[in-house]
Structure formats: C-alpha cells, structure tokens
Amino acid sequence: MDQRIGAVIAVAAALLVVAVGPRSTAHPPAPASLPDPDEAVPVELRVHGRAVRAATFLTPDPVETVIAAHRAAFTAAPVDLVERELVDGRLLSILDVPGGRHLVVRVRRFGGRTEVLRGESALGLAPEALPDFELPEGFVLTAAVEDRTGAAAARTGVALAPMAAAPAREALRRGHLGAGWREATSDDEVLRFERGAERLEARVVGGQSTVVVQLFRIDGGR
C-alpha cells in the first residue's frame, strides 16, 4: 500500500506539469535495459477530468541514460517531443497525434536510484467534471488528479485565489468548517481538516494579491 501511495504522489506531481487526455491501451515502449511495464507499480488516475494509465518503477541507470533511451525510442516516429529539466530530474512529453495518444516520462534520482514514471492517455475525448474540493467563492480549481481504489479516492489539486495568503487561509477555514469539516492539527504552513473518513490538507503559497492553494484530499477510509 505504501508503494502505491508513493506512486500516486509521483504520478500526480509529474502529470500536473503537462495536460494529458484519456486512456489508451498501450504503454510507451520501454528500452530493453529497463523493467517491463507489467513489473512496475500500475496507477489508474484522472488528470484534469481525463483518465490516465501510468506506471512507475526504480532502476540503477542514471537519469540521462533513461531519458536518452526513451527519446531514442521515438526519434524516427512522427511525434512532437518536448523535454524539460526539473529540479531533481527530467521530463519528456511525447505528443503522438497519428497514434492518438500523449505520453509523459518523468525521471528523477530518488534514494540513490532512478525513479521512472510513464503515463499515457488517448487524445480527443471530452473530460469528466473535476473533483470537488469544496472551495470558497472566488477560488478557481486549475488542475486536479484523482486516484480511485474501490470506494476510496485520493485527490490532488491546485487552485488560485485573488487575495493574500492570510485571508485565503481564513476563507478556507471558514468555508470548510461551515461545510461540516473539523479542523485537525493545522500549522503555519498547512490547514488540515477531517470529516468522518475524509481527510483534507490545504497549503497556501503566494504574495499580496494572488495565492496558489495546493490541495490533497482522501475520501473513503484510510
């Protein structure tokens, strides 16, 4: 279970960087030196309301070797490649319009090894409604990732609010207390709420006029 939760967090962090569409049936091709996707930790998500299939695994190969191997797998293909540097690794985005899919490969160093995450989705299908974080009026949800396991769901989101940090925190507190949540062990950085089997965390980051709210919600047991 801990491995799955770690995989969900890693997938959410990577896929919130780029926009992706709903699920397709094939994984990105893996270089021969890397584990088969069937041996990786599978994760079924909804990103921006769209279904995404992903998998993550660890390898001793360095970041550049892994990214180069994935890049080479698409060199001769009619796809658009976008590569960017991250703080702890690299991200490769592959837009395969002829194949009707979008692929994301995120690679980073983690605990002395390299963590590889591959996500895939199909193009062209309309998204479903974004998950509800019960935000106060004026807050706008801009990105959301949802992972479901049976009746339980883990949701990660990003919202914007046109106000400074202190009033944003107070609006979140009032709004959630008014919706039946109980404030748990909040601190100067994170607001924490509970409601039955539901858990919600909100971190407010920003300046004087606009803030970013990072949200994490678990519904349906722990």
Per-residue confidence (pLDDT) for residue 118, from 0 to 100: 85
- For residues 11 and 147, what is the distance between their CA atoms, to the nearest angstrom? 10
DSSP-assigned letter for residue 127 = P
140-219 CATH fold: Alpha-D-Glucose-1,6-Bisphosphate; Chain A, domain 4 (3.30.530)
**Do residues 154 and 160 make contact, with C-beta atoms less than 8 angstroms apart?**
no
User: What phi and psi, each to the nearest 5 degrees, are found at residue 145?
Assistant: -125, 135
**What spatial distance separates the first Cα and last Cα of the chain, rounded to whole Å?**
11
| Strand ordering across the sheet containing 101-110 | 80-86, 89-96, 101-110, 113-122, 50-59, 41-47, 140-149, 152-161, 211-219, 198-206, 190-195, 182-183
- Residue ranges covered by each domain of the chain: 2-122, 140-219
Per-residue pLDDT of the chain (222 residues; tens, 9 = 90+): 444 444 444 555 555 444 333 333 334 444 444 445 445 666 666 666 677 777 888 888 899 999 999 888 888 889 899 888 877 788 888 888 988 888 888 888 878 888 888 888 888 776 667 778 899 999 998 877 777 666 677 888 889 999 999 999 999 999 999 999 999 987 888 999 999 989 999 999 887 789 999 899 888 754
Residues 9-45: b if buried by 16+ CB within 10 A, e if exposed: bbbbebbbebebbbbbeebbebeeebeebeebbebeb
CATH for 2-122 is 3.40.1000
- For residues 166 and 155, what is the distance between their CA atoms, to the nearest angstrom? 24
Distance of CA 109 to the CA centre of its chain: 18
Per-residue confidence (pLDDT) for residue 106, from 0 to 100: 84
Domains 2-122 and 140-219 alike in fold: no
In degrees, to the nearest 5, what angle opens at C-alpha 100 toward C-alphas 94 and 103? 25
